[in-house]
Structure 1
Amino acid sequence: MIPEPLFSLALALEAGEWGDEARIEALAQTALEAAAADLTRNEAQPFPSEPPEVSLVLADDAMMTGINSEWRAQAKPTNVLSFPAFPLTPGAMPGPMLGDIILARETIEREAGDLGKPVDEHITHLVVHGFLHLFGYDHIQNEDAEKMEAIETRILTSLNLSDPYGDIEPV
């Protein structure tokens, strides 16, 4: 028996050359399922019986620069931005819409090259990172950053991917 998904994914290609959308969607689905399963198992994160929706927006650097400028007063692209539909703290029950995760293709490709890792692996990491932000995890304070990074590392390890932060101790 196939378990019911803990969320539904809506993919929107808004800007940029992303290639095979079905491949990106499958990559994101796998990353999000692993993240949701980990949060349920290890962080006691509840999910409603009706799976909430996550919107994954595929953008380019120009679009991301506009969004980043408008919402964060930083007129430059960034790799990922997350916009929760409703404020949520870790462990709280989410509503019907979790929120949006926006990815910028050129920045992701450049960073993957700088890190010497496959683009798909970097996309997977950023989808997980953005998903955690939708649940209220952040990395502003050192203690919060350590917790979030350890959860990300644990999730990525479950997908047989490398630790993006180095030698973080799993929580």
Structure 2
Amino acid sequence: MNQVTLDVQIACEVQELPSEASLEQWVETALETIQETTPVEITIRIVDPDEGLSLNQQYRMKDYATNVLSFPFESPIPLPVRLLGDLVICAEVVAHEAKSQGKPLLAHWAHMVVHGTLHLLGYDHIEEAEAEHMEQLERNILAALGYPDPYADDPAE
């Protein structure tokens, strides 16, 4: 089992948020699935649409608040713990997506945390082969957590 140090920052007023224990379990399961054994530290910042929009504009030149942004960290010097980086998750966008896609809110949160964690670990979905590999990892991780395939009803597939 990995050693995960999780820093959770809640920068919005939302009623239905996953517990810190759930967030940690989702990160931990993602790390176990890809066989990452190094102790890691990760920050998860839960934001409102204004902050999500601002960050998405600044770092991706996109004019909307997105569900999850990943900011990997690469240390210039060796550290005793691997600082993976930061995930910024817009709670309102996640809730809206879950509702519009007919998915349980907690399952969608798990998907966003797993998806973001994989990005922090260097996985991407720009090329089709990369996307297929990353999506399969997400399916495997979420299945291990007891959640359904997040892409099962995706009209893009």
TM-score range, shorter chain: 0.7 to 0.9
Match of 1:9 in 2: 6
Q: Deviations over 1:134-167 (max 9, x none)?
A: 0100000000000000000000001111101129
Q: CA RMSD in A?
A: 1.9
Question: In 1, are the aligned partners of 2:4 and 2:24 still within 8 Å (CA)?
Answer: no
Distance 1:16 1:63 in 2: 13
Q: Aligned in 2, Cα 1:130/1:18: closer, same or farther, shift over 3 Å?
A: farther
The within-5 A match list for 1:11-26 is: 11-19=8-16, 23-26=18-21
Distance 1:80 1:154 in 2: 20
In the superposition, the TM-score normalised over structure 1's length comes to 0.81
Count, aligned residues: 149
**Does 1:115 pair with 2:101?**
yes
Q: Aligned in 2, Cα 1:161/1:34: closer, same or farther, shift over 3 Å?
A: same
- The one-letter amino acid paired with 2:44 is L
Distance 1:117 1:13 in 2: 23
Q: Extract unaligned runs of 5+ from structure 2.
A: none
61-70 vs 11-20, which deviates more? 11-20
**Does 1:154 pair with 2:140?**
yes
Q: Extract unaligned runs of 5+ from structure 1.
A: 88-93
In the superposition, the TM-score normalised over structure 2's length comes to 0.88
Percent identical residues: 36
Match of 2:29 in 1: 34
- The one-letter amino acid paired with 2:102 is G
After TM superposition, which residue ranges in structure 1, 4 or more long, deviate above 4 angstroms?
Answer: none
Question: In 1, are the aligned partners of 2:68 and 2:112 still within 8 Å (CA)?
Answer: yes
Distance 1:113 1:57 in 2: 22
Q: Aligned in 2, Cα 1:153/1:62: closer, same or farther, shift over 3 Å?
A: same
Q: Aligned in 2, Cα 1:30/1:56: closer, same or farther, shift over 3 Å?
A: same
Correspondence for 2:92 among 93, 106, 131: 106
Question: In 2, are the aligned partners of 1:138 and 1:145 still within 8 Å (CA)?
Answer: yes
Question: In 2, are the aligned partners of 1:15 and 1:58 still within 8 Å (CA)?
Answer: yes
